[in-house]
Amino acid sequence: MDLSIQGLWASMGFLARTVTVMLLVMSLLSIWIFIDRYLLFRSSKKQSLQFVTKVGNLLKQGKLDDCINLAKQYKNGHLPKVFSAALLEFKATSSEGGYNVIEAAKRAIERATAKTDSDMKKGLSTLATIGATAPFVGLFGTVVGIINAFKGMATTGSGGIGAVAGGIAEALVTTAFGLFVAIPAVWFYNYFQNKTDLLGIEMANASSELVDHFIKTTGIEEK
């Protein structure tokens, strides 16, 4: 029995090969999502840190336009997105009058936070789906392989474990491959879910500090 990759592939039936190809596609997709999300989170963290170190002094000086322009320079950061939305709303409602600028800024922050959180979570549902279904896809290939092994034994009329051992070994490969695909996908999902939660906390804390600054600037109490 040839247990090499080429040998196992050659001995697989159509359904087993289809399952293997499906698992391979799922594995490549999870790796692509990991790379894409990792680069996005790293860029967002880096740009947010750079933005925070510069925006504080501009806020103290009341240079809202400069703060907005600075946020545009770090458009991939999660904190600049929230600050930009809040500052634009604060500036617009302050000039119009008749509005509670604090409440308007808070609503803008909530919208920007929800959108940013949604953008950060893109692809995570796919990782969760791969992690949950890949073992069952592999198990399906195993069941089909075992059925074919017993059919072969019935056709040849030979009995004993030796007659089906090779077919069962080949069939179990798809289960092992399914687990190989699922385990990293679950790790990736949990990793990015934790990262998203941490970014959500950062946005909430930064937004609270920005609202406090607006209250001090306008003298309007938060409801």
Residues 146 and 168 sit within 8 Å (Cβ to Cβ): yes
- List the chain domain ranges: 5-218
Note the pLDDT of residue 79.
92
Note the pLDDT of residue 93.
80
Note the pLDDT of residue 13.
65
Note the pLDDT of residue 163.
53
Q: Look up tokens 């600075």; give the residue.
A: 70
> What b-and-e string marks burial along 82-105, b requiring 16 or more CB atoms within 10 Å of the CB?
bbbbbbbbbbebbeeeeeebbebb
Residues 86 and 109 sit within 8 Å (Cβ to Cβ): yes
Secondary structure, 3-state, 35-56: HHHHHHHHHHHHHHHHHHHHHH
> What b-and-e string marks burial along 142-155, b requiring 16 or more CB atoms within 10 Å of the CB?
bebbbebbeeebee
* Residues in the chain with pLDDT values less than 50: 98
User: What is the average pLDDT value for the chain, to the nearest integer?
Assistant: 83
